[in-house]
Structure 1
Amino acid sequence: MKQEIRIVKYDAQLKVEAYHFKGIMQKFPNHFHEYYVIGFIENGKRLLSCKSKEYIIEPGDLLIFNPRDNHACEQIDGKTLDYRCINIQPEIMRRAVFAVTGKEQLPYFTSQVLFHNELVVVLRDLHQMLMQEEVCLRKEEVFYFLLEQLIEEYTEQGISTNILEQNTKITAICEFLEKHYMDNIALEDLCNLTGLSKYYLLRSFTKQMGISPYSYLETIRIEKAKKMLEHGVLPIDVAFKTGFTDQSHFSNFFKKFIGLTPKQYMNIFKDARN
C-alpha cells in the first residue's frame, strides 16, 4: 500500500492555502466551501458531481469551484489520487480581481471543469512555489497571471457579489442554519420558519442548493470549525462550539470532509503564526 501524503501550506505573502493530497483513495461526500478552489489532478481518475452535473476528471483537467458550489468526488480507476489545489478566501479574491481588473467585484466562474486546459501548467508552477514556501516576485506574477486568464475566459460578464440566486424561503433557511449551527435543529423548525411541508421543503432546498438542509448544516459547522482551528482553538473546544456531540465524532467528521484531523489542520496555522 502506498503511503498517503496530506500536506497543507498557508502562504502569508498571497494569503492563500495550498493543498496536496497524494496516494489516497478517500471518497469525499457532497459538501461546499466558503472560498474559491482552483485545483488539478496529477494522477488518478475521479467521478466529480458538482451542482447536479457529473464529470469524469483526470490529469490535465483544471477545476474551479465558486464559494458554495456543492461537489463530491470518488475514485473510479482503482489508482490512488494525486490532487493539488489552492484555496482563496472571497476577500482575497476581491483584492486580486481589483488588482487585475480595477473593479471591486467577486467573480462567478461558469465552468467548474476545464478539460485538458493549458493553465494546469501555470497552476502546477504556482502550487510548487507555495509548497516550497518561496517568497518571491515571480510567485505573485504567476498568481495574478493565472487569475487574469481565468477571469477573462471563464466568468460571467456581469460579476455579482451575490453568487447564489435563491428564492426568499431557501435564503431564510440558509440564514437560519448559519445563525443556529450550534443548536440541535429539527426539520420541524425549518418548516415553522418557512410554512413549507417537510417533503416540499426537502425537495425544494435540495433541488436549489444541490445538498440537503442537514448536509448544508454539516458544511457550515465544518467551515466554522476550520476558522476556530486556524486561530488556535483546541479541537475539544471547537467540537463543543460547533454543535458536535463529542470530540471523537467531530474528529472523524472533520477528516471525512477535509482529509486531515482537526489537530493536523490546527498545527498548519500554528506553524504559520510562529
Structure 2
Amino acid sequence: MFKSLPILSVSLLAFAVFAGASIGNFGNSKPMISWFPEQVVQDQFPGTAKVITVKSTSQKDLENVEFWITPQLNKYAAVEPTSIDKVEKNKEYTVQIIVSLPTTVKEKKLVERDIEGLLGDQADKDDKDFLKRWDKNKINGLLFVKSDKTIPWFQFWKKDKTKTIKLIQPKPLKITINVKQPSAEVIPVGISLPSSDRIVSDPESTLEYVGDEVVVVFKEGTTLETIRNIISTTGGVFVGSEQRINLYQIRFLGADLSQIDAKINLLELKEEVDSAFRHPLYLGDL
C-alpha cells in the first residue's frame, strides 16, 4: 500500500495543477475577455430568427479558440465563427449569434445541481446566479470563450511532461432572450426571418414559403391606425415591417398555404391594400 503513495501524491499534484489552471483566471479582478455590448437583451417572437452581432477582445494572445453557449440557450442558438485558430491580444473580433426560436418555446427552471454540474468551478457566482433567474418568457444563456493551455502533467510512464487542456476564459457574455407574443397592435421594425419549422414547400411549384405568413403592401398615405384595424379584423398579427416601402409581415397562427391564399384574397379586397402575397424565403434580401 505504502509503495503506491508516491504515485498517488504525484497524481494529486497533477490534479491540483490542472484544477488551478482551470479556475485561476476567475479570481482575477480584470476579465481576460471583454465584450461589446457587455450584455445582450433581445425581444423575439416564437417562430422567428434573429442575428445578434457582438465584438470580443482578449487581453492576451490565445490559441485554438472555441465559442461555447450554455445548453439552455444553445438549443436555439449558433455562433459564427465557431472557432478561431489564433486570437491576437487587444484585437477586436466580430462574433455573430444566430437565435432561432421554434413556434413553441418551453423552458424548465434550472436547479442548483444542474448549474454546478454544468459549470463547476469554471464560472463565478454572478454567472451562476444569472442562469438561475428563471422566467417562462425568458431564455438566459452565457457565451464562453475556450482556448488551449499547456500545463505541467507528471506521469512516470510517459516522456511528455505537459498536457494541453481547454481553458474557459472569463468573462462570458450574458445573453437574455425575452420571448414575446406578436399582436395586431405592436408593429415590429425590420424584416423578420422565419424559424425552420415555419418553412413549407408548395406541392405544385416546389417553391418554399413561410407557411403561415402574408406580406402586405399598403397604399401610400394609409395610416397606422387603419393598417392595425385591417390586420385585426382579418385575424392576423404583425411579425415584421419595412415601413419606408409600406410593407408589413402578417402571421396567421396555424394557417396552411391554402388558408394563406384565402387571406390574401380577403386582404386584396381592401381599398387601402396595394398588394398581398405569400412570404417567399428571399424576402429577407429586401
Q: TM-score, normalised by structure 2?
A: 0.24
Larger strand proportion of the pair: 2
Larger Rg: 2
